[in-house]
Amino acid sequence: MMIHSWRRSGDFIRSACKSLSSFRQKHNSMSPSVSGFVNRYESKGKTFESNAGKGRNTELLDHHHHHHHPCLGGRNMWTMQQYKSFGSSSASKVQRNPLFSSLEPKDVSYFKEILGEKHVVEDEERLETANTDWMHKYRGSSKLMLLPKNTEEVSQILKYCDSRSLAVVPQGGNTGLVGGSVPVFDEVIINVGLMNKVLSFDEVSGVLVCEAGCILENLAAFLDTKGFVMPLDLGAKGSCHIGGNVSTNAGGLRLIRYGSLHGTVLGLEAVTANGNVLDMLGTLRKDNTGYDLKHLFIGSEGSLGIVTKVSILTQPKMSSVNLAFIACKDFLSCQKLLVEAKRNLGEILSAFEFLDNNSMDLVLNHLDGVRNPVSSSENFYILIETTGSGETYDREKLEAFLLKSLEQGLVSDGVIAQDINQASSFWRIREGITEALQKAGACYKYDLSLPVEEIYNIVNDLRGRLDGLANVMGYGHLGDGNLHLNISAAEYNDKLLGLIEPYVYEWTSKHRGSISAEHGLGVMKANEIFYSKSPETVALMVSLKKLLDPKGILNPYKVLPHSFFSP
Amino acid sequence: MMIHSWRRSGDFIRSACKSLSSFRQKHNSMSPSVSGFVNRYESKGKTFESNAGKGRNTELLDHHHHHHHPCLGGRNMWTMQQYKSFGSSSASKVQRNPLFSSLEPKDVSYFKEILGEKHVVEDEERLETANTDWMHKYRGSSKLMLLPKNTEEVSQILKYCDSRSLAVVPQGGNTGLVGGSVPVFDEVIINVGLMNKVLSFDEVSGVLVCEAGCILENLAAFLDTKGFVMPLDLGAKGSCHIGGNVSTNAGGLRLIRYGSLHGTVLGLEAVTANGNVLDMLGTLRKDNTGYDLKHLFIGSEGSLGIVTKVSILTQPKMSSVNLAFIACKDFLSCQKLLVEAKRNLGEILSAFEFLDNNSMDLVLNHLDGVRNPVSSSENFYILIETTGSGETYDREKLEAFLLKSLEQGLVSDGVIAQDINQASSFWRIREGITEALQKAGACYKYDLSLPVEEIYNIVNDLRGRLDGLANVMGYGHLGDGNLHLNISAAEYNDKLLGLIEPYVYEWTSKHRGSISAEHGLGVMKANEIFYSKSPETVALMVSLKKLLDPKGILNPYKVLPHSFFSP
């Protein structure tokens, strides 16, 4: 019966893959006409979908704001009650550090002198936008945004701010999810958006050097003309800056294939709190001359320095892409399938995503025009994408792998996308989960890294613990060990939250997981760091922070527990 | 003519590749009977060849020592003259830091108490070995070696040494090339060789967790039984420890494919100078909770802490390996071939090595039984290796790529290995260069990273500058931008050295290269760091050193310029 089901799909496979690689090629050349497929890249790993080139997802944000969705709320965010809704009650306790100065007219005059009038922003409307994160969840009250045009200006700004004890928040595309890129109080905003030049590209080595304010999608478009791709891709690509990507160690789509930014970033230029410019802008794959300092700035969320330039290893663009949608009867089969996929698809495997049946049902119930690509309902679904340079070979390899997996009983059904619409409809299921969750009511969201074999245990344990009080769903980047754990309920309530937290954090900690796989800590989880890091390592982080930024002016109240920096 | 030459090779190709993957499989299962091929892995990227499982290359070392080769010299090393021979005259200026205590009987008693008598080594013969690096180029005068069995003992040792201001040198397999793993004066040696247990292996994620003293080859053998491979492989694998690999950020064979240890090491446990144990031993691919401290310890050569445990991402073993030996008429063709190989071979490319005609001639003149695999002499030779999961496909892909390159005129001749002996004979040329250099007389050796397009310019420039005074050769890991620049002469002389240095360092610096691609700085190049790093970054390195090791007891006189630590 299962084999029969597959065989039908198997027959379908034969003719199914022809045009996928050709439209992927179209996608790679940024054709606006394949927007359905572009969306798949736009929204991956992010909370909301977006459209390429539309800036900060304004459409969706407006939509959500308009409807006063409980996940987003209104604009009066900085209250205890609001924080509790997001499981970050501790963050509401943060107090402005009284050792920081307040902005004075002489400061503004000085900045106008060094940057020019038009790069010193006091306009309320523009500040309103810069003070608010893109989910409208965090909001500061800064009265000043500075727009430096080069490293020297960033250096001058920081040197002055340090001497005056003026706190600052570095800002790029402001697409973060943990409140890391907006002020908490009145910090001066330093937005590097004007520093957006490509400085060099080496077609032999594939090394790109650019300024921090380059928008990820623009870099991708530039590279596309050279036949290369960025080693990272993520939903916010139309807005996020490479400097912000580096500062937050963004994960995204291609991590399973090209690894993290700690491996692909070859060099950085960064400015520390006192205005010192650190030239670590190497373009070499191998350089063992002293401590590799750039890693301090990758993922430290702008709290140790402002990244001003980036050197990154890019990859040749591949012509062949295939996508399969697969059903599995249990999580152990999903695990085994991952092991086999790594072994058999090996060098062409480019994505391995999963969702459970609860997630599938939610999508089917709340999104229009979505159907289950496999004939019968199953407990788990897997998306496998391959990217390679051999069109026929890659396709045959994926087919052979799936047929073998079916014979071994790992897979109960499956289908390979035959064209762009089908591929898009497969990704729509995986990526529509967030949208469906929002339509379903209140939602508690967690972004966890766990050992792959533990990933579904926390879902089952929490399901048992909540005992029908809410709908618990698990999905995410299984190939990277990254679970998106979501709890959907009719409305927010304290009893439910009390059952979820700190249980989820404690469970994650007990299994040596990470409470933030790819989003960072920001202001949202700064005080929760001990769930994932030992006291000794946090103490060393604090020492490093104090070494590089003695007055603590760089992105205060973020990343590290507030208690360490209270006067 | 060229096409004819290739066609012959091309015909040969058809039947040539059959058994290569099968004997690579044998190699991968560590069969001692394929020692010829194993040698290829043994010696890659190292100065001398070695035999698997023979320990610290004693055969070759004894051989060289016996002949009093000028590159190795006798045992009285610590003289100005000797240093000048190696182009490191500044290192001879180092003075013992008088703030360090000298070992006293009470210290030895304390160590015996905590470690047990037999793990406190005072035996002169064993100390002689531990005081001397494997090239017999550096030699310390330590009177004590400690052999901790676990992290707690390492912590106790360091806590005590810090309190007593006793300097220490962490030691693993002692296979380093820059004097980093032996004492300079009387530092206490802490050898982690007894900490050699595999702690866990997860077959789903491929994550291996082990103690720092595990020998790389033993880990490879362990993984082989599971169907996985380490993401690094290097010549010293039979002796080197994973903790030392991490501490020196070892490059090695598989870097072009799997990237550096900054990407593949997922977690570490390290003990800082004061005995603090830092648990950073995560096993997750994604974890953005605070600063990623493990990177401080990757490549800092034991000067910030002693690595005690390692968590590393391993890779599924691939069944298909092919090797081509190719002739190119100029360096620009080599460059273009690299670009095309990355694009066309893409996901299966696993090595891209080059040598120039001077290197080839040297090997042909000085090594027995070596012949040029292509029919006529050319200016450059390239080795391309592919590793993948599709035997027929990979072979056909390599063949198609080479034929296309021939048609495009990038390649003038080439051949694909037909069996283990032929593959071994191809690698023998590339890896025999060092041995041939030693037989040819005096040799000045440099390990440089440069932008790929600059790699051969330094060879040409130096050749012009020396104007026939010596034979200048270039070879190395072209795919990684790593040049081994070697100058061979009848004998060492100051005039020649004066022409080479600081010219080579200055040239490298001017082109933003690295004066140490993969070997580290150790004591040999600690004072030369400014050729590759800016004063601001070195100042920050020194601050980090002083933060983590205020008394400077950890591996003193290494990595950072001595002047910063003089009392």
Q: Strands A120-121, A145-146: parallel, antiparallel or unpaired by DSSP?
A: antiparallel
Kindly determine whether residue B251 and residue A286, on different chains, have CB atoms separated by under 8 Å. Answer: yes
The tens place of each residue's pLDDT in chain A, 567 residues long, gives 233 333 333 333 323 332 233 333 333 333 322 222 222 222 233 322 223 333 333 222 233 333 332 222 222 332 222 332 233 334 457 899 999 999 999 999 999 999 999 999 999 999 999 999 987 889 999 999 999 999 999 999 999 999 999 999 999 999 988 899 999 999 999 999 999 999 999 988 899 999 999 999 999 999 999 999 999 988 788 999 999 999 999 987 788 899 999 999 999 999 999 999 999 999 999 999 999 999 999 999 999 999 999 999 999 998 899 999 999 999 999 999 999 999 899 899 999 999 999 999 999 999 999 999 998 899 999 999 999 988 889 999 999 999 999 999 999 999 999 988 999 999 899 988 988 998 898 888 889 999 998 999 999 999 999 999 999 999 999 999 999 999 999 988 899 999 998 999 999 999 989 999 999 999 989 999 999 999 999 999 999 999 999 999 999 999 999 888 877
Chain A residues with CB under 8 Å of B151 CB are none
Q: How far apart are CA B329 and CA B411, in angstroms?
A: 7
Residue B298 sits at the chain A interface (C-beta within 8 Å): yes
What is the pLDDT, as a whole number, of residue A59? 29
Contact between A249 and B292 using a beta-carbon 8 Å cutoff: yes
Residue A259 sits at the chain B interface (C-beta within 8 Å): yes
Closest residue in A to B532 (Cα) is A289
Q: Does position B63 have pLDDT exceeding 70, yes or no? A: no
pLDDT, position B298: 98
User: Has residue B183 got a pLDDT over 80?
Assistant: yes
- Inspect the interface and report whether the beta carbons of B288 and A206 lie closer than 8 Å: no
CA distance A422 to chain B (A): 26
A372 has a chain B CB within 8 A of its CB: no
**In whole angstroms, what is the distance from residue A486 CA to residue A481 CA?**
16
Inspect the interface and report whether the beta carbons of A533 and B203 lie closer than 8 Å.
Answer: no
Longest dimension (CA), chain B: 78
How far does Cα A292 stand from its chain's mean position? 25
pLDDT digits (tens, 9 = 90+) for B354-408: 999 999 999 999 999 999 999 889 999 999 999 998 888 999 999 999 999 999 9
More confident residue, B22 or B531: B531
Structure confidence at residue A32 (pLDDT): 29
Q: Which residues of A touch B279 (CB under 8 A)?
A: 534, 536-537
**Residues 268..297 of A with a Cβ closer than 8 Å to B: which?**
276-280, 282-293, 295-296
What is each CA distance from A343 to A44, A244, A331, B202, B316, in whole angstroms? 25, 34, 19, 14, 5
Q: What does pTM read for this prediction? A: 0.84
Residue A92: the pLDDT is: 53
Q: How many CB atoms lie under 10 A from the CB of residue A42? A: 25
Q: Which chain A residue has its CA at the smallest distance from B560's CA?
A: A290
Best residue in A201, A245, A255, A288 for a mutation probing chain B (most B CBs within 10 Å): A288
Residue of B nearest to A281 (CA): B512
B392 and chain A: CB distance < 8 Å anywhere?
Answer: no
Residue B389 near chain A (CB below 8 Å): yes
Which of A159, A313, A347 has the highest number of chain B CBs within 10 A, making it the mutation to test binding with B? Answer: A347
Q: Using the beta-carbon criterion (under 8 Å), do A449 and B287 form an inter-chain contact?
A: yes
Contacts of A552 (CB under 8 A, 6+ apart): A97, A99, A167, A545, A546, A565
From chain A, the residues in CB contact with B544 under 8 A are 291, 544, 547
| Interface subset of B 148-177, CB within 8 angstroms of A | none
Chosen for mutation from B271, B287, B447, B448 (greatest number of chain A CBs closer than 10 Å) is B287
Query: Residue B346: its chain A contacts at CB < 8 A?
Result: 316, 318, 388-389
Asked if B489 and B497 count as a contact pair (C-beta separation under 8 A), the reply is no
DSSP assignment of B180-210 equals -SS-SSSPEEEE-TT---EEEEETTTTEEEE
Whether cis (ω within 30° of 0) applies to the bond prior to B451 is: no
Is residue A227 within 8 angstroms of chain B, CB to CB?
yes
Alpha carbon of A437: minimum distance to chain B alpha carbons (Å): 24
Indicate whether B80 pLDDT > 60: no
Strands A207-211 and B320-328: unpaired
Report the sign of the C-alpha dihedral through residues A219, A221, A223, A225, in that order.
negative
Tens digits of residue pLDDT in B6-15: 333 333 332 3
